[in-house]
Structure 1
Amino acid sequence: MKMENLIRFGEKFFDELEIAIYKNRDASVNIELNEVSTSALRERVVTVVRGVKDKKLGVSIVDTADEEKIKESIERAYKMAKLNKPDEKWISLPEPGKYRKPRKVDKELKEVSPDYFVELARKGIELAREEGIVVAGGGGGAEWRESLIINSHGINVSQEGGGAFFYIELVGMKEGRVTPGIFDFDAKLSLNLNVEEVIRKALQKVKWAFNVEKSKTEEAKVILEPEPISSLLTYALFPAFSGEKLVKGTTPLASKVNESISNELLTIYDDPLHELSINPVIADDEGVPTRKNVLVEKGIFNGFIWDNYWAKLQGLESTGNAKRSLNTGGISIGFHNVIIEKGKKSLEDLVGEIDHGYLVDGFQGAHSSNPDNGNFAVVANPAFLIKDGEVTGSTVFMMSGNIYELLPTLYEVSKEQRVLPFGGSMVVPAMAFENVRIAGK
């Protein structure tokens, strides 16, 4: 039976129907205490049926793409819909749109064995152990994704692709001193992962970390590397870009469209087809075409992102930012690949221009930030002290404030960008801020 026939079968029960099939393949390896601890190959197929009858929504999930099982799932979704209350705000599922040309995919990612990442892990462990450094943890892997989304309004879109990553956590021990865990990684749309560079960068940070210096309470220049700035923005700022929050009145950006929230150094956009994206999707999880959505342009807030439901409530079009939970089948607003535009100076140059300041490589507690007002309180660890243009040692400090007060103090952005595969695809440079209030520990 073709998918169109399944839609026609479902229309016997529903006014509108959507069927989404996801096939995922993950090859992975984990590292614990200088050894490869586990390797695994996981394959999963999930079909989500979402139907609407008299404005009542029914959802059913089944772990197969078998046609008969999908028909049973459609009937089950109908039974669920009858039990639910109508959503009087419901308008309709999305209509077909025009898709951009998909990125070329590397089919090697579809077939790679966990053994490939076992060898990468062993190589990384060997390089670190040669320097007498403990490999506390790490891992690597490749994910291959295929999806098909079809609905009763004519959407019928399929896509495939994948990415690979490798990460390591090192701990140095010398003369009774133990460094904090030092983390580094690489992520690409291919298997061409640079393990040597990951280890080299991590080892450099471990060497800095051996010389521990106390921080003090002061205002100073602070450079946030890609991982900490991405975690801070993910929790303190990015949720405020959601159209759902605008409708519900819970975003501090409600009256800030076309107003400055930073300065001309900051440009942020969401674009899954960016050249460095490891999530190059042409459609979101409702089958709506994805596009480049500029959120902040030279410090000016441009507007919100939408899925189909919340956009239609406002008389708008979806921006192609629907994300589906495979646990519940529900749709929410989310990003595909956030890019923070790069600057013109290297990170090395940014460090070299600071007489006294800090380089932060990680934040603890960013997840507790409040996106409804932008407040945050984090621990910078690991962090490194900069004196006379050189990193001289490691330190730890508290950093708290409000993201909308921090962003205008941005004074430089690095020309290097890193691809962050954790918690979604992001492409992020290092960002330097001045007059940052820190509390020494």
Structure 2
Amino acid sequence: MEELVRYGEKFFDELEIAIYRKRDVSVNIELNELSLSSVRQRTVAVIRGIKDKRLGLAIIDSENKEEIKKAIEQAYKMAKLNSRDEQWDSLPGPGKYAKPKKIDTALKEVSPEYFVELAKKGIKLALEEDKNIIVAGGGGGVEWRESQILNSQGINVVQKGGGAYIYFELVGMKEGNVTPGIFDLDAKLSLNLDVEKVVENAAQKVKWAYKVEKSRTEEAKVIVEPWAISMLLSFALFPAFKGERLIKETTPLANKIGESVASELLTIYDDPFHELSLNPVIADDEGVPTRKNALIENGKFKGFIWDNYWAKIYGTESTGNGVRSLATGGISIGMHNTVIENGKKSLEDMIREIEHGYLINSFQGAHSSNPDNGNFAVVANPAFIIENGEVKGSTVFMMSGNIYDLLNQVYDISKEQKVIPFMGTVVSPSIAFENVRIAGK
């Protein structure tokens, strides 16, 4: 591949070649039945070249050398048509990489049949758990990825790895009452997925949901579970950590480094090397070494994350957070494995200590949150009523406000963490908030 870089230097001042090989195995579940199993494989080469501060991009579904040469020539033609980017500095150079994590190679070779059996097992367990339950949806599989990033500055880094996941969405139908869809999941860097626990957790919530209570407008204690936390923070908070937003003045965290922005109980960081990470990459999609980046530490904002382009504009260094879109070939700032540090108390004990409050399993409408100011408005559904330390039934209510106000209302965090492999990997505990204003429905 180095000879291709040298070939590209005939056309460009700087050149980057990124090769991605992906193998996705998946099964889908609909209404107690397996609806689809598949294996999808794809190889993508992305050419990114710069000539006189003009960017040229080309994407091809091949790693054939002759095809890549043609793509380099095509990218050069595109560069000549594009305007100069006067803010462009240079591609990154190589750095010191961490030792790669040991990979379970069984993930690369697994067949759909393995997940077909897991899915069948989960369906059987759910129907045995409660005759009123329907497995409305679900799925499982493995996402395996191999990559090689090379550039004319001397970067040449190869990576491989993958993760497995399984989830089930259960709906209960009893005495004319249909519960919301309630799902649970497991995700790991191995095939050792806990189907029994996933079904048990979801089925328990379905049983709680049979009894429906009206919520009321009030201020109350609220425990938000990992799936709901990851949805809300992914849209309302996490984008504000990106350095691009600092430069464009679209983050409320500007000039807040070192200041308190949340409860001192809260610590958040991006760490691809965390023990639960599904994405233990040693380099980002530009070949820059990755690292643990503190975002909020004991409530204080610690700093922004950067890719190479925006870091050089701001006069700092990349934090190893360049993430490539295979649809456009472009690089943007993103997190590899966001971790919300856990606490010391079990979720069960947190529930037991509440006289009156709510447990939220999922939010609707989190995508409409505004990271420019932290405002959000969501529907908690399904949510569960807690009375005298016990879950007494299900309900639905509105929750709105500002994410920074909410994060200052944290009073407890569970010791259990769950890996959420959607919208980027998030490792999250359940988080308890006090004096949360809710609007009954």
**What TM-score bracket applies, with the shorter chain setting the length?**
over 0.9
From 16, 26, 29, the counterpart of 1:28 = 26
- Mapped to 1, the partners of 2:194 and 2:262 lie a distance apart of 34
The equivalent of 2:118 in structure 1 is 120
The equivalent of 1:69 in structure 2 is 67
Structure 1 residue 255: deviation in Å?
1.6
Structure 1 residue 8: deviation in Å?
0.4
The equivalent of 1:312 in structure 2 is 312
The equivalent of 1:142 in structure 2 is 142
The equivalent of 1:437 in structure 2 is 437
Q: For residue 408 of structure 2, give the secondary structure of its aligned residue in structure 1.
A: helix
- Mapped to 1, the partners of 2:244 and 2:391 lie a distance apart of 43
How is 1:63-212 mapped onto 2 (pairs within 5 angstroms)? 63-130=61-128, 131-132=130-131, 133-212=133-212
How is 1:423-434 mapped onto 2 (pairs within 5 angstroms)? 423-434=423-434
2:301 counterpart of 1:301: yes
Q: For residue 227 of structure 1, give the secondary structure of its aligned residue in structure 2.
A: helix
The equivalent of 2:382 in structure 1 is 382
Amino acid at match of 2:326: L
Amino acid at match of 1:371: P
* Equivalent residues of 2:234, 2:423 under 8 A apart: no
* Equivalent residues of 2:208, 2:393 under 8 A apart: yes
Amino acid at match of 1:37: S
Structure 1 residue 425: deviation in Å?
1.0
Residues 353-408 of structure 1 deviation map (CA, whole Å, 9 limit, x = unaligned) = 00000000000000000000000000000000000000000000000000011110
Amino acid at match of 1:188: K
Amino acid at match of 2:254: A
- Mapped to 2, the partners of 1:225 and 1:174 lie a distance apart of 25
- Mapped to 1, the partners of 2:177 and 2:409 lie a distance apart of 36
2:232 counterpart of 1:237: no
Amino acid at match of 1:268: I
Structure 1 residue 129: deviation in Å?
1.3
- Mapped to 2, the partners of 1:429 and 1:67 lie a distance apart of 46
The equivalent of 1:9 in structure 2 is 7
- Mapped to 2, the partners of 1:175 and 1:96 lie a distance apart of 64
Amino acid at match of 2:41: E
Identity of aligned residues (%): 72
- Mapped to 1, the partners of 2:176 and 2:277 lie a distance apart of 42
* Equivalent residues of 2:355, 2:386 under 8 A apart: yes
- Mapped to 1, the partners of 2:174 and 2:250 lie a distance apart of 50
- Mapped to 1, the partners of 2:100 and 2:376 lie a distance apart of 38
- Mapped to 1, the partners of 2:120 and 2:103 lie a distance apart of 27
The equivalent of 2:35 in structure 1 is 37
- Mapped to 2, the partners of 1:87 and 1:318 lie a distance apart of 19
2:267 counterpart of 1:283: no
- Mapped to 2, the partners of 1:172 and 1:37 lie a distance apart of 20
How many residue pairs get aligned? The number is 439
The equivalent of 2:53 in structure 1 is 55
- Mapped to 1, the partners of 2:219 and 2:175 lie a distance apart of 33
- Mapped to 2, the partners of 1:144 and 1:410 lie a distance apart of 37
The equivalent of 2:404 in structure 1 is 404
Structure 1 residue 244: deviation in Å?
0.2
Structure 1 residue 424: deviation in Å?
1.3
- Mapped to 2, the partners of 1:314 and 1:256 lie a distance apart of 16
- Mapped to 1, the partners of 2:229 and 2:278 lie a distance apart of 19
Q: For residue 239 of structure 1, give the secondary structure of its aligned residue in structure 2.
A: helix
Q: For residue 319 of structure 1, give the secondary structure of its aligned residue in structure 2.
A: coil
Residues 146-197 of structure 1 deviation map (CA, whole Å, 9 limit, x = unaligned) = 0000000000000000000000000001111111101100000000000010
Instruction: State TM-score, norm by structure 1.
Output: 0.99
* Equivalent residues of 2:49, 2:75 under 8 A apart: yes
Residues 209-249 of structure 1 deviation map (CA, whole Å, 9 limit, x = unaligned) = 00101100000000000010111000000000000000001
Structure 2 runs not aligned, ≥5 long? none
Instruction: State TM-score, norm by structure 2.
Output: 0.99
The equivalent of 1:419 in structure 2 is 419
Q: For residue 263 of structure 2, give the secondary structure of its aligned residue in structure 1.
A: coil
Query: RMSD of the alignment, in Å?
Result: 0.5
Q: For residue 273 of structure 1, give the secondary structure of its aligned residue in structure 2.
A: coil
2:270 counterpart of 1:270: yes
* Equivalent residues of 2:344, 2:415 under 8 A apart: yes
Structure 1 runs not aligned, ≥5 long? none
Q: For residue 172 of structure 1, give the secondary structure of its aligned residue in structure 2.
A: strand
* Equivalent residues of 2:28, 2:36 under 8 A apart: yes
Amino acid at match of 1:195: V
Structure 1 residue 292: deviation in Å?
0.2
